[in-house]
Amino acid sequence: MIRDHYTYRVTWSQEDGEYLGLCLEFPSLSWLAPTPEKTLSGIRKAVSEVVADLQANHEPVPQPLAEKHYSGEFRVRIPPLLHRSLAVEAAEQGVSLNRLASTKLAL
């Protein structure tokens, strides 16, 4: 794999007694090892092998999250009473509903 911009996480697995390596773009993959360094190396190798296999079979390869374009917009459906409550709160604070929602999501 020429560029490895995937999103990795290494965490302790109490159940396994080892470190667990994960890749967000490949949720079915994991790797266990006794040290964080070996875990990261292992999950990166596993991802590399899967990407090579996908490419060899002309199958789509997941795009790294870091390389995706995000517009900054998404729709959220909420109950009408919550919408009203948030609109009232925004008006009381003298801000737009969008600004209030952004602030609440950032917390």
Q: What is the tens place of the pLDDT at every residue in 44-95?
A: 999 999 999 999 999 999 999 999 999 999 999 999 999 999 999 999 999 9
Entry pTM: 0.73
Range in 2-11, 21-30, 50-59 with the lowest mean pLDDT = 2-11
User: What's the confidence (pLDDT) of residue 1?
Assistant: 53
Contact criterion met (CB below 8 Å) for 30 and 22: yes
- Residue 35 has a CB neighbour count (10 Å cut-off) of 11
Place of tokens 């009473």: 81
Contact criterion met (CB below 8 Å) for 30 and 20: yes
User: What's the confidence (pLDDT) of residue 44?
Assistant: 97
